Amino acid sequence: MPCPRRVRQVRAAHRDQPLYFMPFFKKFRVAIHETLRQISCAMITFGINYQQPGARLSARILNGNVIRDQIYSELADEIAALRANGIRPGLAAVLVGENPASKIYVSSKIAACEKLGLANIHVTPPATITTGELLAIIEDLNSRDDVDGILVQLPLPAQIDAKKILEAVDPAKDVDGFHSLNVGRLVAGRPNLVACTPLGVMEILRRSEIKIEGANAVVLGRSDIVGKPMALLLMHANATVTICHSKTRDLPQTVRRADIVVAALGRTAMVTPDYVRPGATVIDVGINRITDTAHAEKLFAQFPERLASFRAKGSAVVGDVHPDVINVAGALTPVPGGVGPLTIAMLMSNTVRAARLRRGFRIHAVART
Ligand code: NDP
């Protein structure tokens, strides 16, 4: 059975003990090492705390902001090279109506464009627009040479045929990766433009050196936007993937088999510590706002700083993973500051990628698909 990260940390701790480095025969040293490893594994498996009484295991935090900054710095070089050739990649954002959350998302995407020097076009039709009128806007953006990427912010108002709109976006400008042609290419293992959030999760895993090949990965959620493309990317990276959804039986037991868990459920803090195998890597895609004080007091019982911040603001953003999972996981993405920053970074990366693809340039490997 592969050794979880936590066990590797315990092994590393033993390596630092002076006794361990005494000039024993190599075989003897390896035997001690292996015995310690097995004892540590057993202790973790049976929930016995290896450290001082009262101390808890604490996961390595996979900081999305740091990874985003790395990606931005790589993209900045690529954008500078394109601009030296007279090309300024451009993103068009279509925001229908006045949905406050959508407004915040679109303004952070536009801010990212400005930070990186990408051109951006902001189209804001009213919430009363018809499918036909929105199709005409998309057709116009498809035909514009200064637009490399088109983003239609979801959700769209009820009267709009959202599928028709997403299918109308030119697949070469489909930087969200939602067009059926791009989905089909991903299924076939010949990806072109891939959905940003799952692409961002892959960047977190790879840049944090989490072993994907051969790992058991469980994806919680099967949406077109996150769960399905996530599972496909992990499968193409040679993980053994299980996809769970609302009809999955024995969910905690299934999730406990995973070396890598990706939670994209839209259910506040649903993945509790008993779902997680000690040492597993847990990626929390969920974004849920809580405003109920009793709920916050329960969730943040072990996190006085988060509780204080909740009291000050009257709300907090929580993922689909319970904060206490930090005591069990080997590595964990925080919410906020985990997957979220990567979603926008991958949108920027896809826009640059689309600009290159449309002109027949070789693809730069900021994000591997
Ligand atoms: P959807 O609502 O489209 O899909 C949720 C999935 O979770 C469905 O497949 C559903 O199953 C499954 N599910 C829901 N409840 C349960 C349950 N009790 N047990 C098992 N499975 C369940 O959500 P999205 O995929 O769009 O988003 C998921 C989360 O990720 C949300 O919190 C969203 O806000 C967040 N998000 C974050 C992004 C980021 O940048 N960080 C970007 C996009 C989304 P079924 O199919 O059977 O209904």
Tell me the C-alpha distance between 159 and 87, whole Å.
38
Please tell me whether residues 216 and 186 are part of one structural domain. no
- Residues 23 and 142 occupy one common structural domain: no
* pLDDT tens, residue by residue, 110-154: 999 999 999 999 999 999 999 999 999 999 999 999 999 999 999
Q: What is the pLDDT of residue 364?
A: 59
Q: Give the whole-angstrom CA distance, residue 91 versus residue 303.
A: 40
Atom of ligand 1 nearest to the CA of 222: 9
Report CA(13)–ligand 1 centroid distance (Å): 38
Question: Is residue 369 one of the residues assigned to a domain?
Answer: no
pLDDT tens digits, 251-308: 999 999 999 999 999 999 999 999 999 999 999 999 999 999 999 999 999 999 999 9
Ligand 1 centroid to residue 258 C-alpha, Å: 19
Whether 27 and 105 share a structural domain: no
Same domain, 244 and 148: no
108 & 125 share domain: yes
What's 274's domain CATH number? 3.40.50.720
Q: Which of 68, 176, 285 to mutate to test ligand 1, by most ligand atoms within 8 A of the CB atom?
A: 285
Query: Do the Cβ atoms of 242 and 219 come closer than 8 Å?
Result: yes
pLDDT at 367: 60
Q: How far apart are the first and last CA of the chain?
A: 28
CA of 56 to the centre of ligand 1 (A): 30
Query: If you compute the radius of gyration of the chain from its CA atoms, what whole number of angstroms results?
Result: 23
Residue 84 lies in a domain: yes
Question: Would you call 109 a catalytic residue per the annotation?
Answer: yes
Q: Whose CA is nearest to atom 8 of ligand 1?
A: 221
Question: What are the angstrom distances between the C-alpha of 349 and each of 72, 120, 198, 287?
Answer: 8, 14, 13, 22
Report which protein residue has its CA nearest ligand 1's atom 36: 286
Ligand 1 mean position to 280 CA, how many Å? Answer: 21
Indicate whether 352 and 324 sit together in one domain: no
Q: Kindly state whether residue 53 falls inside one of the protein's structural domains.
A: no
Bridge partner list, 50: none
Q: Are residues 79 and 115 in the same domain?
A: yes
Whether 238 is in a domain gets the answer yes
Binding site membership of 264 for ligand 1 (Cβ less than 6 Å): yes
User: Active site residue: 174, 176, 284, 320, which one?
Assistant: 176
Taking residue 114's Cβ as centre, other Cβ atoms within 10 Å add up to 10
Which of the listed residues 220, 265, 348 should we mutate to test ligand 1's pocket, taking the one with most ligand atoms within 8 A of CB? 265
Boundaries of domain holding 16: 5-45
- Same domain? For 200 and 331 the reply is yes
Ligand 1 site-directed mutation target among 223, 224, 289, most atoms within 8 Å of CB: 223
Q: The domain spanning residue 83 has which CATH number?
A: 3.40.50.10860
pLDDT of residue 13: 42
253 and 183 together in one domain? no
In a shared domain, residues 145 and 282: no
In a domain, 260, yes or no: yes
Residue 329 lies in a domain: yes
Active site residue 174: no
Residue 278, in any domain of the structure = yes
Domain count for the chain: 3
Index of the ligand 1 atom closest to the CA of residue 288: 32
Per-block average pLDDT, block size 10, for the chain (369 residues)?
48 40 45 47 44 61 98 96 95 97 95 97 97 98 98 97 98 98 96 96 98 98 97 98 98 98 98 98 97 98 97 98 98 97 98 94 62
Question: Which amino acid, one-letter code, is at 29?
Answer: R
How many CB atoms are located within 10 Å of the residue 244 CB?
A: 22
What pTM was computed for the model? 0.86
Please state, in angstroms and rounded to a whole number, the distance separating the CA atoms of residues 227 and 264. 7
Q: Atom 14, ligand 1: which residue's CA is nearest?
A: 265
Q: Same domain, yes or no, for 117 and 33?
A: no
pLDDT at 23: 42
Is the same domain home to 127 and 224?
no
Does residue 55 belong to any structural domain of this protein?
A: no
